Structure formats: C-alpha cells, structure tokens
C-alpha cells in the first residue's frame, strides 16, 4: 500500500504521478489537484482544465488573464454550433 502525501491515507489503489522529474503519490484526484495543480494568478482557483498561460503565468481563463493585463489572450473554443 502507498500513503497519500496530502491526506496521509494508506490506500491499496493509490496513484503515482510524475511531474517535472518528481514522483508524487495520491489516493485521489482531489488530493492530486490540491497538491500539484497550478493556481490562477488572478482568482486563485485550481487550474484543472486547459487554462491559459502568458509569460509563464497561469490563468484559469482568458477573462482572468485580461483582468491581469494580458488583453490578447482568448479562451480555447470549439467550432460554432448551430
């Protein structure tokens, strides 16, 4: 069994996630998000979707990026649906 590095739960179905050369062990996606998801630099929410990035700064959406002065960024959108 492996112990979650966030909550300490000893869990037989724990997951190991490698990021930037470091391995982390979590018992749930919730703990993984809490520990390793980037935070929006405007509203501080966890960026668990696509988000946007400008000058190495992460934002949850283009609106937050624009509020922080990055006016050229747009959200990623799919084709228009009729």
Contacts of 10 (CB under 8 A, 6+ apart): 1, 2, 3, 4
22 Cβ contact list (under 8 Å, min separation 6): none
pLDDT level of residue 26 (50, 70, 90 thresholds): very high
Q: What is the pLDDT of residues 31-60, one digit of tens each?
A: 999 999 999 999 999 999 888 999 999 999
pTM: 0.74
Locate the domains of the chain by residue range.
1-36, 38-82
């Amino acid at each position: 069994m492996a112990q979650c590095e966030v909550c300490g739960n000893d869990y037989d179905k724990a997951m190991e996630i490698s990021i930037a050369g470091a391995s982390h062990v979590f018992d749930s996606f919730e703990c993984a998000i809490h520990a390793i998801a980037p935070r929006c630099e405007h509203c501080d929410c966890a960026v668990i979707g696509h988000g946007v990035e400008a000058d190495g700064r992460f934002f949850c959406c283009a609106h937050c990026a624009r509020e922080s002065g990055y006016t050229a960024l747009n959200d990623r959108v799919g084709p228009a649906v009729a």
